[in-house]
Structure 1
Amino acid sequence: MTSGGGYGDPSQKIDYVFKLVLIGDSGVGKSQILSRYARNEFSLDSKATIGVEFQTRTLVLDHKSVKAQIWDTAGQERYRAVTSAYYRGAVGAMLVYDVTRRQTFDHIPRWLEELRGHADKNIVIILVGNKSDLEDQRAISIEDAKEFAEKEGLFFLETSALNAVNVETAFSTVLTEIFNIVNKKNLVAGEEQGDTGSLAGKKIEMGPAQVVPSKNSLCCNS
């Protein structure tokens, strides 16, 4: 398992740690999306991920310091044994397919079923169609993906890890949604207890309160 740094001052106080997971078939570009977001790097000769690795990046949301701990695992079937530990404590997920490979999109319902079977039921999920730069090889229309996302209550974006299109937006959408849910819960808890309490630096696990993602899912190649 490897960890990496993100942007920001490593000495700053961390208010929240949010665990995100990347799932989807092998070769859809999960590691490239993560590399682009965490280190602003892209490698054309990227090797397949073996087992699990994670990267971190710290950002500021509403004057609070949030560390995103993003886990990436191999999409191959033989690594599926990692599931329960991989999903444990995750509050956000990216469900990634390749816009040029139909079967990677056809497998999304299975990945979603697995995610919902192992992760917290209130996990924030975004459907991501990667490799939008390969428009001439497109096999899945934006409309089909958007319709699926709306039916399942997911956010949706198309990205290009190669051209750094929408990668930042995809992560910030999930992290902002998680942050808003957590803040809303803290506000309610504070009103009930008369004290908001400190959650500084703690990993956040979602409780029953859930903000349903907007049905006007984000789109697409802006």
Structure 2
Amino acid sequence: MSNYTYDYIIKYIIIGDTGVGKSCLLLQFTDKRFQPAHDLTIGVEFGARFVDVEGKKIKLQIWDTAGQESFRSITRSYYRGAAGALLVYDITRRETFDHLLIWLDDARQHSNSNTTIMLIGNKSDLESKRAVSYAEGEAFARQHGLFFMETSAKTAENVEDAYVDTAKDIYEKIKQGVFDVTNEANGIKRGMHLQPGNTIPLDPSSGSNNCCNTG
């Protein structure tokens, strides 16, 4: 066994309106599965998974937040200490796209200025019901300095890339010294190193038990 469990832990947060598929994106990434019906997220859900970035073992700790206005104060407390954020809208529901600026302003007000934000247009499998074009999502991301990707939590299209590409950008910032990795308030924690001959089992990746009513 290697003499470390991971090189870094990185904290993510998933934000956006209710019903855009945030819990599905978490479940597809952590458990490789999709569930077509779910109860609304109450407060936050949690999941974790290891990914490899440039040969480094990185544990992503992902907090899936409730989209309802009544939970917004709880959600805001999770912005602090998040190195990465997935900002999600539903390509079949124009209002979820129209609300992006509210979510983005909230995120930038309450999170680290260096937080990497990936804009996600979810439910790309529902092309026949599309209400927001790819070009519109791409333009919003370009205007606000975000990464952009369309995904389907149902088919898993681009779900892996959404998380891993965000991790790659965060790791690049670590290498450049943008993030102070000695300060866990930045959402990054150095790895747990072991002495040769000693072993500690890897933390089991845990997925959200929450599921989704749509892709």
Q: Please state which band the TM-score falls in when normalised by the shorter chain.
A: 0.7 to 0.9
Name which of 16, 20, 43 aligns with 1:51.
Answer: 43
SS of residue paired to 1:173:
helix
Asked whether the equivalents of residues 48 and 74 of structure 1 are also in contact (C-alpha less than 8 Å), the reply is: yes
Contact kept, 8 Å, 2:8 with 2:58, in 1: the verdict is yes
Whether 1:172 aligns to 2:161 is no
Match of 1:36 in 2: 28
Task: Determine the C-alpha separation between the residues in 1 that align with 2:48 and 2:162.
Answer: 15
Alignment partners' CA distance in 2, 1:88 and 1:55: 18
Q: Give me the TM-score of the superposition, normalised by structure 1.
A: 0.78
More displaced stretch, 104-113 vs 79-88? 79-88
Aligned to 2:106: 114
Aligned-residue offset at 1:51: 1.0
* Structure 1 residue aligned with 2:132: 140
Superposition deviation, residue 84 in structure 1:
3.6
Cα RMSD for the two superposed structures: 2.2
**Is contact 2:4–2:191 with CA below 8 Å preserved after alignment?**
no
1:154-193 to structure 2, matched below 5 A, reads: 154-185=146-177
Pick the aligned partner of 2:191 from 195, 200, 217.
200
What displacement does 1:85 show? 2.2
Shift of 1:131: 0.3
- 1:108 deviation in Å? 0.2
| Structure 2 gap segments, 5+ residues each | 182-188, 194-215
State whether structure 2 residue 65 is matched by structure 1 residue 61: no
Identity of aligned residues (%): 46
Runs of 4+ in 1 over 4 A off after TM superposition: none
TM-score (norm 2): 0.81
| Aligned partner letter, 1:150 | R
Q: Structure 2 counterpart of 1:147, which letter?
A: A
Between 1 and 2, higher relative CO (CA 8 Å, sep ≥ 6) is seen in 2
Task: Report Cα offsets for 1:119-142 as digits up to 9, x if no partner.
Answer: 001110011000001001000011
Q: How many residues align?
A: 184
**Which residue pairs with 2:202 in the alignment?**
none
Q: How much has 1:12 moved relative to structure 2?
A: 5.4
Q: C-alpha displacement at 1:157, in angstroms?
A: 0.5
